[in-house]
């Protein structure tokens, strides 16, 4: 299993000694350092300067550095957003730059001279923006200003090339390293600001307020501001550590805000126990007007107004999902655009686990409503759609339904199947190991497959090839049934077969035999394409159901004895 090389020890400054130890392997990681001063006015105009201190651990003689400038993407410009880069310099020397990427969301900054390996450079940029009027993670709507992905963020290399992949409306087309941010945010008086990290101070400057934030070990810095916000605060203990929860919401949604805080507290506590320590000093929920339910950022999530207003389970589902992202996507980084399964499926399935832990009875309901019904409906109505969960966000264009059904929902069903295959103990060990090895770093899907194989003691490459990298489901049924009596018992024999599907990795398949006198379940270690089984039963069954809990996605047989009625049952009733 490939492991990242030991990086060289560097102290960023006396203020920010960075050596950290992750898991058992001591690793020293160099962090980018962003210092940003930004002013937002009531009309949604932004004026900012940003200085990035960047350490070159890419190659000797680095000639350029790329940034993502998402506010300049065609998507936002077409919707009334504006982004203008005013200047780029390094220590007073003007630098050449070029706007790149097919939607204009990439920026190449040419360095004044080749940067040696291990050396650092300060790059400063001045820019102005106009927020588009839209209900989104970046935009303004009815007095709430959402500042997601709003500043030039350093790009990463993919296969030796700078990442210039465009912005995408659905999903999170983002891929970044953890960094340290010092951000001074100036807003008109009366505005409240929620942001990533810790609020250090608030100062009044004439008719303005300056909020100063420090955020360490985060992949991004997001903020949300509004003159209409009410701020709710809750001090809690998460995994033995004290942290502060904030909710910024409209006063009329206070009740929803309080429910959101309670759900966040419970989700943080559960996931820190199941996966690993929550590393940030605070967790903030910000109400926004949005087309989505929730949106994850480091130590801050955006939640749609409509959910804070509603009375149903939707709010708690969204909070659990977005809190799970604090581990999957935020602390444990991944290529969220290229391999969204690596964070979305985990956030989705951990939402079910949240309901399983806190409301055991409702977990099946949440599993069905959130995941199974949408997925099965999708494949029913769009049978020709390729449903493999391993896809990039760009593949789906703007087809949100397709994206959610495959990457999130089928993706979560793959994790549920993995859990059934390896058992609870190993499944949760896998999650903890991912955290130990990859927290504040980046995990690729291939690393996950290797790690899951290592922990489970089984080579799972074939499993993930079947379920993540290939489309389709698997349907099982039974055939050649015979029954005989034996010492007051019934001996039932038959063959379990795969009737439809393209899978090859052997899986355990449950058979449920029932009669008014009771129910017996056996698990058959199924090998493709056919496996004989035997069951000793204290009664003569009248019904046999294959894969009753639908652990293996796909329609399976229900056999009414004595036949010959064999049919493939609908997986969702
Ligand atoms: Zn998500």
CA distance 81 to 75: 9
Q: What is the pLDDT of residue 24?
A: 41
* Cα of 358 from ligand 1 centre, angstroms: 21
**Mean pLDDT across 17-41:** 68
Block residue for tokens 């149903």: 312
Cβ pair 295, 330 in contact under 8 A: no
The class that CATH gives domain 341-467 is mainly alpha
Task: Give the pair of three-digit tokens for residue 130.
Answer: 């106009």
State the number of CA atoms in the 13 A half-sphere of 138 facing the CB. Answer: 30
DSSP characters over 352-411 = HHHHHHH-GGGHHHHIIIIIIHHHHHHHHH-TTS---S---GGGGTT-HHHHIIIIIIIH
Q: What is the pLDDT of residue 7?
A: 29
**Mean pLDDT across 482-508:** 90
Give strand pairing partners of 97: 109
- Phi, psi dihedrals of residue 399, rounded to the nearest 5°: -85, 85
* Cα of 44 from ligand 1 centre, angstroms: 27
CA distance 193 to 179: 21
- Phi, psi dihedrals of residue 175, rounded to the nearest 5°: -160, 105
* Cα of 348 from ligand 1 centre, angstroms: 7
Task: Give the pair of three-digit tokens for residue 94.
Answer: 């003007």
* Cα of 323 from ligand 1 centre, angstroms: 9
The domain limits of the chain are 33-227, 341-467, 474-568
Sign of CA dihedral 419, 424, 429, 434: positive
* Cα of 542 from ligand 1 centre, angstroms: 43
How far CA 455 is from CA of 430, 431, 434, 449, 450, in Å, comes to 6, 10, 10, 10, 9
* Cα of 324 from ligand 1 centre, angstroms: 8
Q: What is the pTM of this model?
A: 0.93
* Cα of 318 from ligand 1 centre, angstroms: 9
**Mean pLDDT across 309-318:** 95
* Cα of 370 from ligand 1 centre, angstroms: 13
Which of 5, 392, 17, 41 has its CA nearest to residue 225? 41
Q: What is the pLDDT of residue 444?
A: 98
Question: Exposed, middle or buried, 441 (CB in 10 Å: 0-12/13-18/19+)?
Answer: middle
**Mean pLDDT across 156-180:** 96
Q: What is the pLDDT of residue 21?
A: 39
Neighbours of 489 (CB within 10 A): 13
Task: Give the pair of three-digit tokens for residue 152.
Answer: 């030039």
Q: What is the pLDDT of residue 30?
A: 81
Q: What is the pLDDT of residue 18?
A: 41
DSSP characters over 508-572 = EEEEEEEETTEEEEEEEEE-SSEEEEEEEESS--SEEEESTT--SSS--EEEETTTTEEEEPPS-
Cβ pair 296, 324 in contact under 8 A: no
* Cα of 536 from ligand 1 centre, angstroms: 45
* Cα of 170 from ligand 1 centre, angstroms: 11
Q: What is the pLDDT of residues 115-161, one digit of tens each?
A: 999 999 999 999 999 999 999 999 999 999 999 999 999 999 999 99
Record: fold of 474-568: Immunoglobulin-like (2.60.40)
* Cα of 322 from ligand 1 centre, angstroms: 6
* Residues shown for the chain: 573
How far CA 338 is from CA of 114, 165, 252, in Å, comes to 30, 9, 39
* Cα of 285 from ligand 1 centre, angstroms: 15
Question: Exposed, middle or buried, 470 (CB in 10 Å: 0-12/13-18/19+)?
Answer: middle
* Cα of 294 from ligand 1 centre, angstroms: 8
Instruction: pLDDT band for 569, please (50, 70, 90 cuts).
Output: low
Record: fold of 33-227: Immunoglobulin-like (2.60.40)
Instruction: pLDDT band for 33, please (50, 70, 90 cuts).
Output: very high
Q: What does the DSSP 8-state code read for residue 72?
A: G
Mean model confidence pLDDT for the chain: 92
Which of 340, 325, 318 has its CA nearest to residue 402? 340
Which of 105, 5, 106, 125 has its CA nearest to residue 53? 125
Q: What is the pLDDT of residue 566?
A: 52
* Cα of 250 from ligand 1 centre, angstroms: 24
Residue 61, pLDDT above cutoff 50: yes
CA distance 551 to 545: 13
Reduced to 3 states, what is the DSSP secondary structure of residue 147? strand
Which of 136, 116, 6 has its CA nearest to residue 58? 116
Give strand pairing partners of 52: 34, 123
* Cα of 153 from ligand 1 centre, angstroms: 21
Instruction: pLDDT band for 561, please (50, 70, 90 cuts).
Output: confident
Task: Give the pair of three-digit tokens for residue 455.
Answer: 């922990």
* Cα of 403 from ligand 1 centre, angstroms: 11
- Phi, psi dihedrals of residue 386, rounded to the nearest 5°: -75, 115
* Cα of 328 from ligand 1 centre, angstroms: 9
* Cα of 295 from ligand 1 centre, angstroms: 7
Block residue for tokens 């760009």: 394
Using left for φ > 0, alpha for ψ between -120 and 50, and beta otherwise, residue 91 falls in left
* Cα of 13 from ligand 1 centre, angstroms: 35
Q: What is the pLDDT of residue 16?
A: 38
Residue 517, pLDDT above cutoff 80: yes
Strands (E), 91-239: 93-94, 97-100, 106-115, 120-130, 138-141, 144-147, 153-154, 157-158, 161-162, 179-188, 192-195, 198-205, 208-218, 223-226, 230-238
Which of 224, 300, 287 has its CA nearest to residue 257? 287
Q: What is the pLDDT of residues 379-423, one digit of tens each?
A: 999 999 999 999 999 999 989 999 999 999 999 999 999 999 999
Long-range contacts of 561-568 (CB under 8 A, 24+ apart): 561/481, 561/483, 562/483, 563/481, 566/477, 566/478, 566/479, 568/475, 568/477, 568/499, 568/500
* Cα of 340 from ligand 1 centre, angstroms: 9
Which of 139, 394, 78, 395 has its CA nearest to residue 292? 139
* Cα of 89 from ligand 1 centre, angstroms: 37
Give strand pairing partners of 495: 479, 532
**Mean pLDDT across 192-214:** 98
* Cα of 127 from ligand 1 centre, angstroms: 30
CA distance 234 to 254: 13
Same fold, 341-467 and 474-568: no
Provide the residues around ligand 1 (an ion) whose CB is within 5 A.
344, 347
Instruction: pLDDT band for 48, please (50, 70, 90 cuts).
Output: very high
* Cα of 100 from ligand 1 centre, angstroms: 28
Q: What is the pLDDT of residues 95-113, one digit of tens each?
A: 999 999 999 999 999 999 9
Q: What is the pLDDT of residues 446-469, one digit of tens each?
A: 999 999 999 999 999 999 999 999
* Cα of 446 from ligand 1 centre, angstroms: 20
* Cα of 459 from ligand 1 centre, angstroms: 28
Instruction: pLDDT band for 2, please (50, 70, 90 cuts).
Output: very low
* Cα of 271 from ligand 1 centre, angstroms: 15
């Amino acid at each position: 299993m490939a492991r990242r090389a030991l990086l060289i020890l560097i102290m960023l400054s006396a203020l920010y000694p960075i050596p950290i130890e992750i898991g058992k392997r001591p690793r020293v990681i160099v962090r980018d350092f962003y210092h940003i001063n930004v002013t937002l006015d009531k009309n949604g105009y932004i004026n900012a300067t940003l200085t990035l201190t960047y350490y070159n651990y890419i190659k000797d003689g680095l000639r350029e550095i790329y940034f993502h400038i998402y506010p300049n993407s065609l998507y936002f410009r077409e919707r009334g957003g504006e982004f203008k880069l005013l200047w780029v310099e390094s220590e007073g020397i003007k630098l050449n730059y070029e706007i790149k990427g097919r939607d204009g969301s990439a920026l190449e900054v040419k360095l004044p001279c080749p940067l040696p390996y291990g050396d650092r450079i300060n790059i400063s940029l001045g820019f102005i923006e106009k927020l588009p009027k839209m209900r989104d993670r970046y935009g303004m709507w009815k007095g709430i200003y959402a500042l997601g992905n709003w500043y030039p963020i350093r790009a990463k290399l993919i296969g030796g090339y700078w990442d210039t992949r465009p912005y995408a409306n659905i999903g999170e087309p983002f891929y970044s390293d953890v960094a340290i941010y010092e951000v001074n945010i100036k807003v008109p008086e009366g505005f409240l600001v929620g942001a990533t990290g810790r609020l250090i101070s608030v100062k009044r400057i004439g008719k303005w307020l300056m909020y100063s934030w420090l955020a360490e070990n985060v992949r991004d810095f997001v903020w949300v501001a509004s003159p209409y916000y009410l701020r709710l605060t809750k001090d809690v203990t998460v995994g033995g550590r004290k942290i502060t929860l904030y909710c910024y919401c409209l006063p009329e949604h206070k009740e929803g805000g309080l429910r959101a805080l309670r759900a966040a507290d419970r989700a943080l506590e559960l996931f820190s126990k199941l996966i690993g320590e929550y590393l940030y000093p605070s967790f903030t929920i910000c109400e926004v007007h949005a087309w989505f339910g929730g949106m994850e950022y480091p130590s801050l999530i955006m939640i749609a107004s409509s959910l804070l207003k509603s009375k149903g389970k939707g709010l708690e589902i969204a909070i659990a999902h977005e809190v799970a992202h604090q581990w999957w996507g935020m602390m444990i980084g991944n290529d969220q655009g290229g391999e969204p399964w690596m964070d979305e499926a985990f956030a989705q399935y951990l939402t079910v686990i949240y309901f399983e832990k806190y409301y055991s009875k409702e977990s099946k309901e949440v599993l069905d409503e959130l995941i199974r019904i949408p997925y099965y409906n999708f494949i029913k109505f769009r049978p020709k759609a390729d449903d493999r969960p391993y896809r990039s966000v760009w593949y789906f264009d703007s087809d949100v339904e397709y994206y959610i059904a495959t990457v999130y929902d089928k993706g979560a069903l793959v994790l549920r199947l993995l859990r059934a295959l390896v058992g609870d103990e190993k499944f949760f060990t896998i999650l903890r190991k991912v955290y130990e090895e990859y927290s504040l770093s980046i995990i690729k899907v291939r690393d996950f497959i290797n790690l899951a194989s290592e922990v489970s003691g089984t080579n799972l490459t074939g499993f993930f090839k079947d379920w993540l990298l290939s489309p389709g489901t698997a349907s099982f049924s039974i055939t050649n049934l015979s029954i005989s009596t034996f010492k007051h018992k019934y001996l039932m024999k038959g063959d379990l077969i795969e009737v439809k599907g393209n899978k090859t990795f052997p899986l355990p398949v449950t058979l449920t035999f029932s009669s008014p006198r009771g129910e017996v379940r056996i698990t058959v270690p199924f090998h493709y394409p056919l496996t004989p089984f035997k069951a000793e039963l204290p009664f003569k069954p009248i019904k046999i159901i294959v894969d009753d809990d639908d652990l293996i996605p796909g329609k399976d047989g229900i056999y009414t004895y004595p036949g010959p009625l064999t049919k493939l049952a609908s997986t969702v009733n």
